[in-house]
A = this chain, B = another copy of it.
Amino acid sequence: MQHSLKTIFPNFSNELITTIEENGSLQDFEAGTILMRTGQYIKNTVLIIKGKIKIYREGEDGGEFLMYYLQPGQACAISMICTAKSEKSQIMAKVVEDATVMMIPLQLMDKWMMEHRSWYEFVIETYRSRFEEVLEVVDNIAFRSMDERLEFYLKRHSDACGCSEVNLSHQEIATELNTSREVVSRLLKKMEQRGLVKLNRNQIELLNFNH
């Protein structure tokens, strides 16, 4: 196997790894693919092996309000929760960097909860961390103004990729924050004047982001 499951999911027991390899199906998706749509029934739990997947809420006007990103070693909490009841998805999932994922049929996801302690713990931890992340999002839109939200957004991005450059256009950022490009441009300009960022085309360098 090209990508070792054991490396990406270090907490999984060996038997669990074997079971996943036997029963899951490994699939590749190109950037831009929509893995899950609002209102769609979910049939699989998704483990991320490679790439990056954006989980967002779609507005009527085409807004793509960012909830969080999924990276290797993570799983989609929504798909886990919904599969358990075979419910409709309430969110959208889009591949933003070419991805490899492990699809696990819903019956197994449920069955393993009882059989594999490490699976159970993984699922619970996934619920917890995603719930927390969504709560933080609520905090931001409920209590903070756009400039603070933008700073938080940039920080999340740099934390996620581990680098200090964010390669996005102002329009893309605006879409994910559900505001307009002009507002983002203006706020970024102010941040540049404060020495927080350096602006290039399609790229924002974060400078003193340790406050």
Q: Does A182 contact B (CB under 8 A)?
A: no
A91 to B134, CA, bound (A): 12
Chain B: minimal CB distance from A66 (Å): 10
A61 to B77, CA, bound (A): 32
Stretch in A5-13, A16-24, A135-143, A187-195 with 4+ CB within 8 Å of B: A135-143
Q: Are A131 and B77 in contact (CB under 8 A)?
A: yes
* Copies per complex of this chain: 2
Q: Are B143 and A84 in contact (CB under 8 A)?
A: no
Interface residues of A in 125-177 (CB under 8 A from B): 125, 127-128, 130-132, 134-139, 141-143
Q: How large is the interface on A (under 10, 10 to 19, 20 to 34, 35 or more residues)?
A: 35 or more
A58-97 to B contact mask, C-beta < 8 Å, 1/0: 0111010101000000000110011011010011000000
Q: Does A120 contact B (CB under 8 A)?
A: yes
Hey, which chain B residues are within 8 Å of A134, CB to CB? 131, 134-135, 138
Chain B: minimal CB distance from A104 (Å): 16
Q: Are A124 and B65 in contact (CB under 8 A)?
A: no
Q: Are B85 and A128 in contact (CB under 8 A)?
A: yes
Q: Are A59 and B143 in contact (CB under 8 A)?
A: yes
A63 to B144, CA, bound (A): 12
Q: Are A138 and B137 in contact (CB under 8 A)?
A: yes
Selected contact of A114 from candidates B84, B114, B128, CB within 8 Å: B114
Residues of A within 8 A of B (CB): 57, 59-61, 63, 65, 67, 77-78, 81-82, 84-85, 87, 90-91, 113-114, 120, 124-125, 127-128, 130-132, 134-139, 141-143, 178
Given contacts A65-B143, A81-B128, A85-B128, 13 further A-B contacts (CB under 8 A): A57-B135, A57-B138, A61-B143, A78-B131, A81-B124, A85-B124, A91-B135, A130-B131, A134-B138, A138-B138, A138-B141, A141-B141, A143-B178
10 A-B pairs with CB atoms under 8 Å apart are A65-B138, A81-B131, A84-B128, A87-B128, A90-B132, A90-B136, A114-B120, A127-B131, A131-B131, A138-B141
